[in-house]
Amino acid sequence: PKSFAILTSGGDCSGMNPAVRAAVRYGIAKGCNVYGIYEGYQGLVDGGKYIRKMDWKSVRGWLSVGGTSIGTARCMAFKTREGRLSAAENLVKHGIDSLIVCGGDGSLTGADVFRSEWGSLIAELLSTDRITDQQAKTFSHLTIVGMVGSIDNDMASTDITIGAASCLHRVCEMVDSIGTTASSHSRAFVIEVMGRDCGWVAMMAAIATGADFVFIPEQPLAAGEWQEAICDVAHRHREMGKRKTVIIVAEGALDSSLNPVKSEDIKNILTERLGLDTRVTILGHIQRGGTPCAFDRILATTQSVAAVEAVLQSTPDMPSPFIGYVNNKVTSGPLMDAVALTHQVADAIHKKEFDRAMQLRDPQFRQ
Ligand code: ADP
């Protein structure tokens, strides 16, 4: 029977567990041996107890559990050839020739590197007697399937990443909670949300909660421009009887190389110019946690089924697939292209070419 493994890597998100669960169970239903690799790439490099055969019951109850129960890690060793050599050896020794990686753009970049070097890793393992001739022949090809687990929704080639919707739900609940106390005391709040270089969480949370203003990295305001803009809008809303002021700031907008906005500066402007009693709240890691929302359970499950199908259908001449979600459909395209495009988006944002970044990020634009 076919043997494949799944691992979760990089920053965790709600929905990784449903992804692992579906890959394990669909794989078993298709007659495969399915392995879970614990602690992300670190487990792959270390091998041994970190590579475990999964059975139907191993993933019982995981649909509604946040985070990733097989663990995740940032792994420096996997960035070195020595680490990847050891990872390749561990896969061969377990008879695994296909790997599903659920992680962010960093993890999928690593997957891409691993896949492109596979031939030379196998050659080196053979020449140093770490594997046999027969193993080198049997494992001459590695299939890697990438799925994106990320709260940031920052991957090109897909409309939405696993975990982004759950994170957004959590952020909305918290902004709503802050809103009630803000209204009671007639206060203003500056709320920092996650998202790395991507303003998706901030923008969607602002729409969903009716925030007064949002700062996102994709649309930076000039240093002298935003002060007036936020005061205008906050003042106008107050004149209309609103008892709270909520300003959402994306993590990426705090990055001084993009847009030197500081939450404390926003607070000071609102306090000094409008006399508003203003507080800064950093939502922090609460955003990453909690039970996956229904959409993420469905997205992760349907994408994992597609990932296992991709494993079963893969041939040595096919590029490694990337499982996406475009126009309400699960999609599959070359992983290398998705990774390259995501890096182009990040580069464009850092060069302040924002229109280009948005176009590159939008799968529908490119169709
Ligand atoms: P995310 O996947 O959430 O973007 P990271 O960027 O931290 O998170 O990447 C997760 C892991 O993927 C890293 O700790 C490292 O082990 C691996 N990785 C990232 N980039 C590379 C790379 N260029 N080469 C090899 N491995 C990489």
Q: 3-state SS string over 306-342?
A: HHHHHHHHCCCCCCCEEEEEECCEEEEEEHHHHHHHH
Q: Pick the residue whose CA is nearest to atom 11 on ligand 1.
A: 107
Catalytic-residue membership of 159: no
Token pair in block for residue 340 = 């390259």
The predicted structure's pLDDT at residue 140: 95
Say how many Å lie between the CA of residue 251 and the centre of ligand 1.
Answer: 20
Q: Which of 46, 97, 152, 197 is catalytic?
A: 152
> Does the pLDDT value for residue 354 go beyond 70?
yes
| CB of 9 shorter than 6 A to ligand 1 | yes
Determine whether the annotation assigns residue 196 to a binding site: yes
What is residue 223's predicted lDDT score, i.e. its pLDDT?
79
Q: What is the pTM of this model?
A: 0.95
The DSSP result for 73-92, as a single string, is ---SGGGSHHHHHHHHHHHH
Interval between CA 12 and ligand 1 midpoint (Å): 13
Q: Where are the alpha helices (DSSP H) in the chain?
A: 16-29, 40-46, 81-93, 105-127, 133-138, 164-185, 200-209, 226-239, 251-254, 263-274, 294-313, 335-350, 354-361, 363-366
Nearest-atom index, ligand 1, CA of 77: 16
Take residue 47 and report the two structure tokens written for it: 């091998």
**Mean pLDDT across the chain:** 94
Q: Is 238 annotated as a binding residue?
A: no
Cβ(340) – ligand 1 distance below 6 Å: no
Instruction: Tell me how far apart the alpha carbons of residues 242 and 186 are, in angstroms, rounded to a whole number.
Output: 8
| Phi, psi for 55 (deg, rounded to 5) | -120, 180
The whole-number pLDDT of residue 258 equals: 61
Instruction: Give pLDDT, residue 197.
Output: 87
pLDDT at 360: 86
CB distance 157 to 324 below 8 Å: yes
Kindly give the pairing relationship between strand 51-53 and strand 33-37.
antiparallel
pLDDT of residue 363: 66
CA 107 – CA 44 distance, rounded (Å):
13
Q: DSSP state, 162? A: B
DSSP state of 222: P
What per-residue confidence (pLDDT) applies to 367? Answer: 46
The pLDDT, as a whole number, for residue 151 is 97
Rounded average pLDDT over 241-258: 88
Mean pLDDT of 196-213: 96
Question: In DSSP terms, which residues pair with 101 in a beta bridge?
Answer: 7, 146
Mean pLDDT, range 298-314, rounded to an integer: 97
pLDDT of 364 higher than 80: no
